Structure 1
Amino acid sequence: MSNNDLLFDKELDKEYNNLDSGSDSSIGIKNFGQDDSELSEGELYKSSGDENDDDIEQDDKLLETIQLKLAQRKKISNGSSQVMFVDEFQSDSDIENEADIDDENMNDNKLKILKDQRSVKKNGKYYNKPPRFTFSSTKMNQKIEESPDNIKNIAIIGPFRSGKTSLVSNMIVKKHRKHFQRQKYDYLNLKKYMDNSLITKYRKTTSRLNMGRFLHNEDIVMNIIDTPGHSDFWNETQIALEMSDFAYIIIDCVEGVTDSVIKLYEVARLKMGLNVGFILNKIDRLVLELKLDEIHFFLKIQDIVNDINKLDYNEDSFSPEKGNILFSSSKYHFMFSIKQFLASVNESYRKNNEMLDYITKRSWGNVVFEDNKFEYCPNWNRLNKVPSFVTFIVEPLYEIFKNGLVLKTQDLKKWVELNFGYLLKSSSDDEEYTAQLIKLFESIFENDNKESTVSMINQCFVENTVNSIAQSPTSEQNFNLSCIEKKGLLHLSKLIRVFKVIEYNNQLWSLCKIYKGNISIGDALYFEGKKLLTVFEIAIMGGRFVKNIQKAFPNQIVLLRGINTVSPDDLVGVGTLYSKEDFELADKVAFPKIDFINEPVMKVVLQPKQLKHLTLLNKGLKLISKIYPDIKTSVDTSREYILYGCGELQIDTILFELRYFYICYFDRNITDFIEIKSTGNVITSFKEGCSGESFASIPVTSKNYSLSIVATKISDDLSEVICKNQFFPERLFREKKLVDLSAILRNDFKWESEAARNIIAISGTNFFINDILPDDLDTELFQELKPYLIKGFEKVVSEGPLAEEPLHNVIFKLMTLDKLDETSSTPLEVLPLSTKAFKIALLSAKPILLEPYYSFSIITKFDHERNVKSVLKRRRGSQIFNIKEISGSPLIQVTGIIPTIDSNGLSVDLQMVTQGSTICQFYSIHKRWYKVPGNVLDQEIQFSKLEPSEGDALSRDFLMKTRKRKGLESENENSLNDNGPSLKDYLDLELYLQLKELKMV
């Protein structure tokens, strides 16, 4: 390297240090490698194919582009003291047209993102491609092609702020060459390798899944899927679980088994049927933050393990010596099981596997080690004895922390070499203590074998995962090869499931998993049997990079882009892809729609400030619905767009992306981002139901047919088990397991035998039953009209008679069905007739309006308990179920429920009264819906024009405002008069007056 180059680099460093480095919204990686090996430009990289990882080629065109950017940056930096902003969404191909865009207009109207454009040279070459691995990519591709069993898809799930992304980032980086691994350690984890999207870096929290992969021991391909921890994005976590073979639940050692852990376990283990393991992360906090002594460290861990085993029906299913509970610190870059820890800290154990296994099995629980022998001692605490876990694990761990903090560098190097036989990585006395501890733990827990460069953190993770995967039962929810076998469709050539559209590498892809067959670029595939597309591009997620491939194989998780004759860039959303040859079998193997755990119950009304943006907003919402398949969008009569989300953070994230990124996807040359105005207050969706049984079976007749239906409420215990995903009647009915369904309803919920056997349709918590006596039923007529009755049931279940909101907890019973005219009848007229009958049945059964409730979990300090209670007390309908002290910590957990519409801003209020020391999570996974106070049909209620309604007027107020927003009110109907939905709208006037005279309506 010439002197001029060195001077240029120094000048570049000087300018770089003058920039405002506080922003972390760049996609690039700063200080993520050695000084001479950082990635240039800080942009996500898309490789061109299966190039050799050991080759670093210099691209002249790329070099010119980089130099152009550096020159531009230098010019702006020298010419003005202001921070330089660039368009985050600009591609390299846009640079040539950059001069045509007015700089002032660009900085004022485009999203201003500080972007790190630092480029570093090494031997005259720029690094702008994925880091080289410590394994052979050729060998990994060979293993993928050989057998799907060589691929292990592992989901990493856990509560908010439990350290999932940091842990996965460390694991993936360990499989990169030394030139890419950290030299300047990022103690604050601001530049996590798995944070590859703009919104994730902007919001400082993971909002979508990501995946990294590596080859272990030239044998197993590990795909590790990082997931969001915030409850608003748990549907994204569910998609990751759908694609996975095994799941690890990350637990913060200080917080322990929180309500979030319990709910995630229910989803992964009980609903998805996956085997799970646990990783107790942040064990450093017990030492450095809580400052527990060795005995209390063990008691804290033991308490967490006991709570974990309470989650499972089998006692002692999880235990550290079994390898399904691991220990880690994402901050200090280490992970270990009991066995791996013993092998790392004691050279004699490493050489004697028999002795290692012997001690491992005795290093947990109420076992003590005295006089060179192990002894079971349940009362060790009273007898002042020390558990073997403390002797063999905790005390050595504390010694490492203590000496890493107090010893000088030279003394620490001698101590490490003397006690562990390892060489301490380079360090200095003036180094920050966190960096020195990272190097200390890496020296002890990392294998420095230069030939294999096997990382201890990866070795521990893989070895304790593979056995659990082999024992994992087939998930009842997942559609896999066993389902194909049961249907006799093994001769299928290709079967691919599309889970969602995902933004990756500043491009939009279809996220897929291959279940059968291989796919290559150029293959013709049918999507949902409706349209034919050609595979245009295939890629693999790789942390901050995307790896293009030519061919993909079964059990791989891939990114696809297709083209068809209609659009040059066709985005395939949720659904199933088939081979052209299997088109006739498409309806037999379609993947079922994902039953998302979180309901989109919170909504916001959107409208562009400028009419010229109306088309852009419409396009953006269509794309958003593919990227977030769990949300809903609709348009009301006033041309306002309604966006339904799972929580405040998700809606905020969607609006951010809608305003900035996804509009640019359609037109990358626009200089004005769309301006959206939205409602200031949070709105929620509602559901309709009934609190009693229809007072009469009111017949509905047409010229040719007559039928009558009654409605009643299902039992609370049946509704609860369905909402908690403990019973799936709709799935059993769809799979035609009618005997099993009938037996459960009769035995567990005391249904009558005839009702349990004569179910016509099920939708969520709503049932439609044939209650006509066998002697009175015209079987031939019933079978002829049954499809139209079901369509009428589905229509009313999705749009009830009160405000066209979905129904909840209603059983409809068909009481009569007659044919009046044998000559001119047509079955099609039964559809509007049955729809009317269903609405009459609901309105005659004490109709109610139901509002959604969030379950909440608040973790805060014990000192703030009074303030938290005070804030919750001021919120309508909030209930505290439990206040639990988290053992061994100054924290408490407050759990309860609150109406969704009254949860708006609660997190902010709690942060204010607890000095920012609160983690508040809201869940809708149990699908709690409760009756809104008041009579929804009470026309005598008077509303105030300027004050919100309270008490018994609330139900009627919510109903009338919802009808008004949807444009359902009549000419004389508004929220201040007596009009509204009534049986009068569906009955003959004479019959209605008779019922009113009898005081039945």
Structure 2
Amino acid sequence: MDESLYDEFGNYIGPDIDSDASDASDDEDDLPSPSASPSASAAVSSPDDHHHNRQVVPMDEDVDMDAQIVLAEEKKYYPTAEEVYGEGVETLVMDEDEQPLEQPIIKPVRALKFELGVRDSTTYVSTEFLLGLMSNPSLVRNVALVGHLQHGKTVFMDMLVEQTHKISTFEQIGEKHMRYTDTRVDEQERRISIKAVPMTMVLEDGNLKSYLCNIMDTPGHVNFSDEMTAALRLADGAVLVVDAADGVMVNTERAIRHAIQERLPIVVVINKVDRLITELKLPPADAYFKLRHTLEVINELISSFSTTAGGIKTVDPTAGNVCFASASAGWSFTLQSFAKLYVKLHGIPFDHNKFAARLWGDMYYHPDERVFRKKPPAGGGERSFVQFILEPLYKIYSQVIGEHKKSVESTLAELGVTLSNAAYKLNVRPLLRLACSSVFGSATGFTDMLVQHIPSAKDAAAKKVDHIYTGPQDLSLVEAMKDCDSSGPLMVNVTKLYPKSDCSVFDAFGRVYSGTLQTGQTVRVLGEGYSPDDEEDMTVKEVTKLWVYQARYRIPISKAPAGSWVLIEGVDASIMKTATLCPLHVDEDVFIFRPLHFNTLPVVKTATEPLNPSELPKMVEGLRKISKSYPLAITKVEESGEHTILGTGEIYLDSIMKDLRELYSEVEVKVADPVVSFCETVIETSSLKCFAETPNRKNRITMLAEPLEKGLAEDIENGIVSIDWPRKKLGDFFQSKYDWDLLAARSIWAFGPDKQGPNILLDDTLPSEVDKSLLNAVKDSIVQGFQWGAREGPLCDEPIRNVKFKILDATIAAEPLHRGGGQIIPTARRVAYSAFLMATPRLMEPVYYVEIQTPIDCVGAIYTVLSRRRGHVTADLPKPGTPAYIVKAFVPVIESFGFETDLRYHTQGQAFCQSIFDHWAIVPGDPLDKSIVLRPLEPAPVQHLAREFMVKTRRRKGMSEDVSINRFFDEAMVVELAQQAAELHQPHFL
């Protein structure tokens, strides 16, 4: 080894280079050597000759290119973009980053795992057959499945899905139901439904005729009753599901009331009948009384609610509008379908309808005479329902559960059912499910009930349109909707929005009332604020895709005829809650479908902010999507800048926050402690006439405030009385029901803060004292000021409720320039505030109605828990036929946070409660009493609560602690108040 080739550290340095050659190279100033290639020589030539030299130097094709000397700046490491992509591709070279390093150049596909889907969606009928039925609205039934929590609506849908799809919705090993319409992951985890989900199924009736049934499975929890409202708007009938053991519960009652308000016929499914056998262990005769009592309670509710909302038929098993079922065991029947089963088993030709008519009530079978009578036979006997229906049902259950294989085989053989040997090795529940489904067959009785008692989409259209369409009823467009005409002008009512898999946009779900909706069609999207006079809330969109929504999968279609439910892509951008779709060009004015009217209010609210302030835009966009996804959720920004969400209860807000964090904004969000909405009211008439002058001193309005009559605010909110009625009809209503004098009844100007607001503005001026023409000229401005004030009261910017404002006097300038809206509107608001403050103002708080189901030994603990939260019991009674007790109570919403946990803790988890907003109640104490001292970290006495709530609400909203009187009273009014206070020898506001 030659050591001269290495340095002292062992690094290879190579042989010595001739120093003369190196010096010569330096002297030539790095010019290329004669041995350099022509291209290298050309590279160091003058700039002017550079291009010329590159062109004229000849290249020897035989020269090995790898052996040539190429300068570093001309060395080519990668192929050019033109060589890779071709000459027709535009390429850009960017010197700076156009996006942050955290953002990928090619974004990955964003698919959130929040929905469950199925790969195999094979049905027993073809898609073509289903779409063919859609084009015949006489064969379409649109219904909503409603009822209380855990009464079996979703499992009942599972039973229907299993009968129409080639899948099993029951896991035999784990003995769990699939809950097919619970498509969200959190629904499966919580074991409750959160969203209303539709399915379109082809069901056969008892004559094997096929009908297209659009069925919407709705949540049973009272907090999610807004989903039920959206479903009932699209439906032509309500299927009320009631647990046979629990009977009528709080949400059952509210579902009945809401269905009647929507003028929908009601049919009943008494589900979980087997609970009477396996859990309550009632004898057959007692089970009959339990079922009869449940139906009697339902009929009482239907009769009581129908007095104000039109006649709705009561339910009767002999009429065929009551179905008995156990969805978990896979069976259902009506009296008519059970009578058909007897005809099939005995082979005796008789009229099954006449037989079914004798299977309910006090009817007894006399075997000697082979007749039915209302008196029992000699020696006693059971009622026909017990003898012919319950006793065979009890026999099947008792033998499958407790007897040996041979006795079960013989019993089933008598019923014409034969099971395999492998079936008898199953556990009890799968075996019972298999045996019962084999005996009773498919749900033809349920289909018969829908066909006979729920009108078809064509037959129901006239009544439906008359109820929900806000425009005149004598237009040709309305006639097309009432005829369910697929060739008429397009009219679609959208009531629900479902998110895409990436939660970036929504698909709209609605019902086609007339015309045919097609893909690629351009439509006008009319929002809730649209009217022919104000077209601001209107956009033009193109329908890109249409589907038949099937819970866990979708069937793409090219068109949707009248009477059908359809899922629409491409129109959601401007929709917030509901919308109306119509063609671009219509000869007549188009009005919207009435917005949803809910049976509860969002009274619980919480403030949110992102953990990282820079992510605020993402959270705001997420809140906008929350408002789209939840029909009753309200998101708004307070004056303090905080973003608040209003919902119906704790679980409702918990579901919203989960969606906000994980689906719609994907940011960490901080949440404040929940609070409640308040209202402001008065309990006396204003102590003096309050007046206010416009800023230009040209106009003056005098007003008085006083409480409304009891029940009037609720009538306005429930739509029993409408400001749109003719003046004579409106006057007659107030005169007859609330004993108003005729002049006042016909002088109502407006309700506030909107058309269904619980406040009234009326003109109580006299023509001899006030120029009515000038007053009517500024009527709209005064109404706007009144509604503005009713929307944000003077105490803590909360809505005013239950107050009647009377205009007593008005001095209006004759020149239009001096009585413009800029002068009148704020003045009307200020005089309304001053009249309000002079009428002994009070705060109102929302109150929950709480229904608690508990064992008898836990009732005492429930009283204790309620008393600590300002609650009181209104009813305490046993539930018939069960060992449970029902405790009904009222609890202020502000005291209800953590109530359910507290209740479970004190009853060892044996009590279960449901809470729903019921009414507004006045908070004890005077909110304007400055003598009250609020001490931090100490509970306030009951009489100090109003002051505490007002002060803390004003602090939270960034307002001063006390009401500023100078903002609402003119100087002359302040002087008059001071004089009055001096006369009474007591301080007033000053």
* Alignment TM-score, normalising by the size of structure 1: 0.79
1:410, CA displacement in angstroms? 5.6
1:414, CA displacement in angstroms? 4.1
**What residue in structure 2 maps to residue 166 of structure 1?**
155
State how 1:405-416 maps to structure 2 within 5 Å: 405-409=401-405, 411-416=407-412
Instruction: Verify the 8 A CA contact 1:275 1:473 in the aligned structure 2.
Output: no
1:910, CA displacement in angstroms? 1.7
Separation (CA, whole Å) in 2 of partners of 1:850 and 1:558: 43
State how 1:525-536 maps to structure 2 within 5 Å: 525-528=523-526, 529=535, 530-536=538-544
**What residue in structure 1 maps to residue 818 of structure 2?**
825
**What residue in structure 2 maps to residue 561 of structure 1?**
569
Separation (CA, whole Å) in 1 of partners of 2:659 and 2:816: 59
Separation (CA, whole Å) in 1 of partners of 2:420 and 2:400: 13
Equivalent residue in structure 2 for 1:307, among 274, 280, 297:
297
**What residue in structure 2 maps to residue 246 of structure 1?**
237
**What residue in structure 1 maps to residue 782 of structure 2?**
789
Separation (CA, whole Å) in 2 of partners of 1:546 and 1:831: 52
Q: Deviations over 1:543-594 (max 9, x none)?
A: 2112222111212222212169xxxx776642222210139723xx112222
Q: Deviations over 1:4-40 (max 9, x none)?
A: xxxxxxxxxxxxxxxxxxxxxxxxxxxxxxxxxxxxx
1:219, CA displacement in angstroms? 4.2
Separation (CA, whole Å) in 2 of partners of 1:597 and 1:749: 24
- Look up the equivalent residue of 1:280 and give its one-letter code: I
Residues 1:435 and 2:430 aligned together: yes
Identity across the alignment (%)? 25
**What residue in structure 2 maps to residue 577 of structure 1?**
581
Instruction: Verify the 8 A CA contact 1:843 1:983 in the aligned structure 2.
Output: no
Equivalent residue in structure 2 for 1:396, among 392, 396, 420:
392
Instruction: Verify the 8 A CA contact 1:248 1:279 in the aligned structure 2.
Output: yes
Instruction: Verify the 8 A CA contact 2:580 2:592 in the aligned structure 1.
Output: yes
**What residue in structure 1 maps to residue 521 of structure 2?**
523
Separation (CA, whole Å) in 1 of partners of 2:652 and 2:369: 57
Residues 1:220 and 2:211 aligned together: yes
Q: Deviations over 1:947-971 (max 9, x none)?
A: 13222211011111111111121xx
- Look up the equivalent residue of 2:631 and give its one-letter code: P
1:852, CA displacement in angstroms? 0.4
Residues 1:333 and 2:321 aligned together: no
State how 1:515-914 maps to structure 2 within 5 Å: 515-528=513-526, 529=535, 530-562=538-570, 573-582=577-586, 585-586=589-590, 589-663=591-665, 673-680=666-673, 682-702=674-694, 703-722=697-716, 725=718, 728-729=720-721, 732-734=722-724, 736-763=725-752, 764-820=757-813, 822=815, 824-828=817-821, 829-876=823-870, 878-914=871-907
State how 1:420-459 maps to structure 2 within 5 Å: 420-424=415-419, 427-446=422-441, 456-457=442-443, 459=444
- Cα–Cα, structure 1 residues 175 and 640, in superposed 2: closer, same or farther, change >3 Å? same
Which structure would you say has the larger Rg?
Answer: 2
Q: Deviations over 1:129-149 (max 9, x none)?
A: 44221123212212212x333
**What residue in structure 2 maps to residue 958 of structure 1?**
949
Equivalent residue in structure 2 for 1:935, among 926, 930, 938:
926
Instruction: Verify the 8 A CA contact 2:232 2:238 in the aligned structure 1.
Output: yes
Q: Deviations over 1:93-148 (max 9, x none)?
A: x9x988x99xxxxxxxx9999x999xxxxxxxxxx644221123212212212x33
Separation (CA, whole Å) in 2 of partners of 1:499 and 1:920: 30
Structure 1: runs of 5 or more not aligned? 1-93, 102-109, 118-127, 447-455, 664-672
Separation (CA, whole Å) in 2 of partners of 1:327 and 1:187: 26
**What residue in structure 1 maps to residue 127 of structure 2?**
137
Separation (CA, whole Å) in 1 of partners of 2:968 and 2:566: 53
Separation (CA, whole Å) in 2 of partners of 1:781 and 1:846: 32
Higher-RCO chain (CA-CA 8 Å, sequence separation at least 6): 1
Separation (CA, whole Å) in 2 of partners of 1:984 and 1:627: 40
1:985, CA displacement in angstroms? 4.2
Instruction: Verify the 8 A CA contact 1:713 1:810 in the aligned structure 2.
Output: yes
Instruction: Verify the 8 A CA contact 2:539 2:574 in the aligned structure 1.
Output: no
State how 1:120-199 maps to structure 2 within 5 Å: 129-145=119-135, 147-177=136-166, 180-181=167-168, 184-185=171-172, 188-199=175-186
> Which is further off, 245-254 or 317-326?
317-326
Partner of 2:723: helix, strand, or coil?
helix
Separation (CA, whole Å) in 2 of partners of 1:476 and 1:722: 22
Partner of 1:312: helix, strand, or coil?
helix
- Cα–Cα, structure 1 residues 700 and 486, in superposed 2: closer, same or farther, change >3 Å? same
Separation (CA, whole Å) in 1 of partners of 2:714 and 2:203: 44
Instruction: Verify the 8 A CA contact 1:367 1:374 in the aligned structure 2.
Output: no
- Cα–Cα, structure 1 residues 310 and 353, in superposed 2: closer, same or farther, change >3 Å? same
Separation (CA, whole Å) in 1 of partners of 2:383 and 2:263: 35
Instruction: Verify the 8 A CA contact 1:496 1:576 in the aligned structure 2.
Output: yes
1:346, CA displacement in angstroms? 5.1
Partner of 1:581: helix, strand, or coil?
coil
Partner of 2:328: helix, strand, or coil?
coil
Partner of 1:585: helix, strand, or coil?
coil
- Look up the equivalent residue of 1:886 and give its one-letter code: K
Partner of 1:395: helix, strand, or coil?
helix
Separation (CA, whole Å) in 2 of partners of 1:430 and 1:212: 34
Instruction: Verify the 8 A CA contact 2:141 2:450 in the aligned structure 1.
Output: no
- Cα–Cα, structure 1 residues 914 and 138, in superposed 2: closer, same or farther, change >3 Å? same
Q: Deviations over 1:657-684 (max 9, x none)?
A: 1010112xxxxxxxxx41111123x200
**What residue in structure 2 maps to residue 78 of structure 1?**
none
Separation (CA, whole Å) in 2 of partners of 1:614 and 1:116: 30
Separation (CA, whole Å) in 2 of partners of 1:607 and 1:389: 61
- Cα–Cα, structure 1 residues 239 and 189, in superposed 2: closer, same or farther, change >3 Å? farther
Separation (CA, whole Å) in 2 of partners of 1:579 and 1:896: 51
**What residue in structure 2 maps to residue 297 of structure 1?**
287
Separation (CA, whole Å) in 1 of partners of 2:422 and 2:229: 43
State how 1:32-71 maps to structure 2 within 5 Å: none
1:277, CA displacement in angstroms? 1.2
Q: Deviations over 1:720-756 (max 9, x none)?
A: 5456x3x522xx223x343333222111111111111
Partner of 1:540: helix, strand, or coil?
strand
Instruction: Verify the 8 A CA contact 1:705 1:821 in the aligned structure 2.
Output: no
Separation (CA, whole Å) in 1 of partners of 2:471 and 2:394: 51
* Alignment TM-score, normalising by the size of structure 2: 0.80
Instruction: Verify the 8 A CA contact 1:362 1:374 in the aligned structure 2.
Output: no
Equivalent residue in structure 2 for 1:946, among 916, 927, 937:
937
- Look up the equivalent residue of 2:614 and give its one-letter code: K
1:930, CA displacement in angstroms? 0.7
Separation (CA, whole Å) in 1 of partners of 2:394 and 2:174: 20
- Cα–Cα, structure 1 residues 737 and 315, in superposed 2: closer, same or farther, change >3 Å? closer
Q: Deviations over 1:907-946 (max 9, x none)?
A: 112222333233311112x4x1111110111111111122
State how 1:255-274 maps to structure 2 within 5 Å: 255-269=246-260, 271-274=261-264
Instruction: Verify the 8 A CA contact 1:250 1:278 in the aligned structure 2.
Output: yes
Q: Deviations over 1:237-291 (max 9, x none)?
A: 011111100001111111112233222211111x111110111111111000111
Instruction: Verify the 8 A CA contact 1:691 1:845 in the aligned structure 2.
Output: yes
- Look up the equivalent residue of 1:865 and give its one-letter code: V
- Cα–Cα, structure 1 residues 268 and 630, in superposed 2: closer, same or farther, change >3 Å? same
Separation (CA, whole Å) in 2 of partners of 1:772 and 1:432: 80
Separation (CA, whole Å) in 1 of partners of 2:174 and 2:439: 19
Equivalent residue in structure 1 for 2:969, among 986, 990, 997:
986
1:994, CA displacement in angstroms? 2.6
Instruction: Verify the 8 A CA contact 2:466 2:473 in the aligned structure 1.
Output: no
Separation (CA, whole Å) in 2 of partners of 1:521 and 1:247: 31
